[in-house]
Chain A
Amino acid sequence: MDYFAQQAINAIQQGSIYALIALGYSMVYGVLTMINFAHGDLFMVGAFACLLIASFFPLPFIVILILVMLATGFLGALLERLAYRPLRNAPRVSAIITALGCGLVIENVVLSLSPYAKPMPPLFTVTGYHIGGLSVSTLQLMIIGVSIALMLGLDFLIRRTSFGMAMRAISFDAKTVPLLGIPLNRIISVTFLIGAGLGGAAGMLYGQAYPVIAASMGILVGWKAFVAAVVGGIGSIRGAVLGGYILGTVEVMTVAFLPSTYRDLVAYSLLLVILIFKPYGLLGKAPNQKV
């Protein structure tokens, strides 16, 4: 029983990080119906931004978190402005290819600047607690707490603010929205800013949990979160969170019962199975095509 409870905590921790990244994929898909393949690399940039800031300025955790989110957020918005906006009316394939290309550019720039994996210093002293047979660390609580706080904040933003309303309107029907006086471009920019910011925050938290960071984590971890977004139903905010926790659970269970090298195999097989039996994910909606 204790073993399962312990694994459950690990699953929630892993799931929280996946959910945070998956939100970015889903938000962008919601407003642009485009897969931002570069999002995983923004997550990776978040981890490196944290390392860079922390090694020069010994700021408090929360300040670094905000700076990291701003840095990755602006990078995401910049990417949209330079690479995706010119292609908004181009064939969809062009946009996917561009996103894939941008992701690889970011990954390999980081790889070229920092060829080897870098250790990540802890940003606060970690203490462990033992409750019965369970061990929980302040780090785990921090990761889970920060993630949930960010998700609640996003939920508030989407459901209670005029930005959120505009964003939902665009997801519903992007063609009519400009007619209603909603500034489409600004809403899309802000969506990228927030989505990428959440991804960056996830990168920072991930760096604390697994304190060795490398350029390849954008694909290794970031794309896994993409699996989560698709499993939950890409375009759906709640789906992204659900998918994140499902994937976290599946991964932790895989590692608990199988050799750890099976992790990717299981995750991507899960993706394939979901796409075959529930092509638009657990909470996603099928697009309607007019004949």
Chain B
Amino acid sequence: MSALLEVRNVSRHFGGLKAISECGFSVTEGHAHGIIGPNGAGKTTLFNLITGIYKPTSGEIVFAGDRLDGLRPSRIALKGIGRTFQNIRLFKQLTVLENVRIAYDSQLHYSPLEALLTLPRMGRNEAESIAKSSALLEAFGLGALSESLAGDLPYGLQRKLEIARAIALNPRLLLLDEPAAGLNSGETAALTEFLRWVRTEYKVTLLLIEHHMHLVMGLCDRITVLDFGQKIAEGTPEEIRGNKRVIEAYLGADEE
């Protein structure tokens, strides 16, 4: 198994604040890789660096052999990285189906002129987009809701839709930012199963930020621990569980 994503010595400073400093790790293809750490450790910043919303102050990010740092977010997404957001960012006033179609659109091939004049290739592509997006929603159990507005869905289903939307990009790597936030322990267990299914069904590598230790320990093959923007530990769940620094920095302070 080779490294799908490599973060090499990346730093990001906001003014004087070092949100991430000289952080490096790699994500193996096919793995579920967890990132944990106390609040403010720089986990979401790391996601924003990988997806191009922020540019690293220094260091390199390599995905499947290509440099990502410096590329626009849309280019990075098109290389095969999907993501969800900590505070769900769906297109709230659009329907559930439209949310998924927008991500699926990256796989449609027709030019602006073909669209303006509604030439045949556009029609074929659009029909395919409706069929494939609907099928994806069915698979996610959201088929019945495809004409509802995304903003009207209950919280749990919004999280699910956000994952479906990211999957519609057909990514090789899926970044999940606290997928279990706001869920109770029963729902978290169901989510763990669901993420296992997503991972095998869509053959996608997972990189996730999470606070729920049961989910992280149960799902992840490998875990990276951040504190104050620095990597303080990395290893299998068993190794992390026994790591002194981690217990001091994180688990000791906030036992779950």
Nearest CB in chain A: distance from B78 CB, A:
19
The interface residues of chain B lying within 8 Å CB-to-CB of A291 are 44, 48, 53, 85
A-B contact count (CB 8 A): 4
Q: Which residue of A lies closest to B86 (CB)?
A: A291
DSSP majority for the A interface? Answer: loop
Q: Which residue of B lies closest to A289 (CB)?
A: B53
The interface residues of chain A lying within 8 Å CB-to-CB of B48 are 291
- Distance between Cα atoms of A26 and B48 in the complex (Å): 33
- Distance between Cα atoms of A106 and B85 in the complex (Å): 45
Which A203-238 residues have C-beta < 8 A from chain B? none
Nearest CB in chain B: distance from A94 CB, A:
15
- Distance between Cα atoms of A291 and B83 in the complex (Å): 13
Q: Which residue of B lies closest to A288 (CB)?
A: B14
Which B69-87 residues have C-beta < 8 A from chain A? 85
Nearest CB in chain A: distance from B85 CB, A:
7
- Distance between Cα atoms of A291 and B48 in the complex (Å): 8
Q: Which residue of A lies closest to B14 (CB)?
A: A288
- Distance between Cα atoms of A291 and B50 in the complex (Å): 13
Would you give the 0/1 interface string for A280-291, flagging 1 where the beta carbon is closer than 8 Å to chain B?
Answer: 000000000001
- Distance between Cα atoms of A291 and B47 in the complex (Å): 10
The interface residues of chain A lying within 8 Å CB-to-CB of B44 are 291
Nearest CB in chain A: distance from B16 CB, A:
15
- Distance between Cα atoms of A291 and B87 in the complex (Å): 8
Q: Which residue of A lies closest to B47 (CB)?
A: A291
Nearest CB in chain A: distance from B221 CB, A:
27
Q: Which residue of B lies closest to A290 (CB)?
A: B87
Nearest CB in chain B: distance from A285 CB, A:
12
Nearest CB in chain B: distance from A23 CB, A:
28
Would you give the 0/1 interface string for A251-291, flagging 1 where the beta carbon is closer than 8 Å to chain B?
Answer: 00000000000000000000000000000000000000001
Would you give the 0/1 interface string for B9-50, flagging 1 where the beta carbon is closer than 8 Å to chain A?
Answer: 000000000000000000000000000000000001000100
- Distance between Cα atoms of A291 and B53 in the complex (Å): 8
- Distance between Cα atoms of A291 and B84 in the complex (Å): 11
Nearest CB in chain B: distance from A41 CB, A:
34
Nearest CB in chain B: distance from A75 CB, A:
37
- Distance between Cα atoms of A291 and B89 in the complex (Å): 9
Nearest CB in chain A: distance from B13 CB, A:
14
The interface residues of chain A lying within 8 Å CB-to-CB of B53 are 291
- Distance between Cα atoms of A291 and B44 in the complex (Å): 9
Question: Chain A residues in contact with chain B, CB under 8 A?
Answer: 291
Could you pull out 4 A-B pairs where Cβ atoms are within 8 angstroms? A291-B44, A291-B48, A291-B53, A291-B85
Shortest beta-carbon contacts, A-B, top 4? A291-B53, A291-B48, A291-B44, A291-B85
